[in-house]
Structure 1
Amino acid sequence: MFAGLTGWHLLIILAVILLLFGAPKLPALAKSIGQSMRIFKGEVDELKKDGKDGKSDQATDGTPTNTTTQNTAVQNTAAQSTPAPTPVDPSTESNPKS
Structure 2
Amino acid sequence: MTLALRLGKTLAELAGHQAPMTARELIFWMAFDQLSPISDRRSDVHAAQIATAVYQSQGAKVAFDDVLIDWSGEEEGVAEDDDALETLFAALSQS
In the superposition, the TM-score normalised over structure 1's length comes to 0.30
Larger RCO, structures 1/2 (Cα 8 Å, 6+ apart):
2
In the superposition, the TM-score normalised over structure 2's length comes to 0.31
Looking at secondary structure, tell me which structure has more helix per residue: 1
Structure with higher Rg: it is 1
